[in-house]
Amino acid sequence: MIHDFGIVWSERDLLLSGLGNTTILSVLSAIAALLIGLVLTPALMSKQPWLRGTVRGFVDGMRCVPFLLFAYIVYYGLPSLGVRFDNWTSGLVALTIYNAAYMAEILRGAWAAQPREPIEAGVAFGFSNVGLFRRIVLPPLLLAAGPVIGNQMIQIIKDSAFLTIIALPELTHAAASIQSRHYVPFAAFITAVFLYWGLCLVIEAGVGSIDRLAAARR
């Protein structure tokens, strides 16, 4: 067994590269999903029924579709419609679009729970448009939604593992590769599990900090 871990250690470059891909992919799609979510949320609450209905359909749809299937469709299915992405782009696009729906729903829930008066005070004091949004609306919203967004980030990291199916060289794919070449499945996958756990703990620490900031202001 020690010998097995020794083999894994000798392949650490591959594992770290896989970890790097997982991290970069997750962070990029999380940020992109959050930004798109910020755009979709006002649409979700719009008074125009067609706009609200379309976005609501998209959000509910993404929540009913398994991510793996969605990733498959983006990578394998789109070429028949003439759109061909490589596996990295497919993975990024799939992760981003899928989670944008979840982020929109999270932000909508957080927004609904926000009191209106401080924002009205912002308007009364002369804040408008971007300034109002950036300095008055957004900070309390992010503080409130922080933990839930953190959870979603963990979900994104786990969903990224599905992308091994489309041969994206992320962490699980690296572990599987080491396993198939050296026949050290336990060592390889346990290492991967602990690396995922490590990522998760980092996010939970981040969420903890945001929660502390929020608690001081509660």
Partner 1 sequence: MSAGDVLAILGGAVVTVTLSLTGILIGLPIGLALAVLRWADVPVVARIVAVYVSILRATPLVTLLLLLFFALPNIGIAIGPVSAAILALVMNTAAFNCEVWRASLMNFPRDQYEAAQSVGMSAGLRFRRIVLPQIARTSLPGLVNEMSLLIKVTPVLAVVGVVDITRAAVRIGAETYDPLPPFLVAVALYAPIVFVLVSLQRWIERRQVLAEAAA
Partner 2 sequence: MADSSKVLDVAGVSKRFGALEVLSDISFQVEKGETVCVLGPSGSGKSTLLRCINWLERPDAGQIYLNGVEIGINGAGVVMSDRELSRMRTRIGMVFQHFALWPHLTVLQNLMEAPVQVQRRPKAEVRDEALALLAKVGLSDKRDTFPAKLSGGQKQRVGIARALAMRPDLLLFDEPTSALDPELVGEVLLVMRELAHEGRTMVVVTHEMGFARDAATRVMFLDRGRVIETGSPEKFFTSPETERARQFLQRYAGDAANGKR
Q: Binding residues for partner 1, per CB under 8 A?
A: 60-61, 63-70, 72-73, 76-77, 80-81, 154, 157-162, 164-165, 171-172, 175-176, 179, 183-186, 189-190, 192-194, 196-197, 199-201
CB of 128 to partner 2, least distance (A): 4
Using the minimum distance from each CB to partner 1, give the nearer residue, 52 or 182.
182
Alpha carbons 91 and 190: distance in angstroms, whole number: 24
Q: How many residues bind partner 2 (CB under 8 A)?
A: 22
CB 15 within 8 A of CB 179: no
Burial of 159 from C-beta contacts in 10 A (0-12 / 13-18 / 19+): buried
Give yes or no for residue 212 binding partner 2 (CB under 8 A).
no
Question: Encoding tokens for residue 34?
Answer: 């959050």
Give yes or no for residue 117 binding partner 2 (CB under 8 A).
yes
C-alpha R_g of the chain = 21
Write down the number of H helices and E strands in the chain.
10, 0
Give yes or no for residue 218 binding partner 2 (CB under 8 A).
yes
> Binding marks (x or -) toward partner 2, 119..148, rule CB under 8 A?
-xxxxxxxxxx-x---xx--xx--x-----
Using the minimum distance from each CB to partner 1, give the nearer residue, 90 or 136.
90
> Of 18, 169, 177, 189, whose CA–CA distance to 91 is shortest?
169
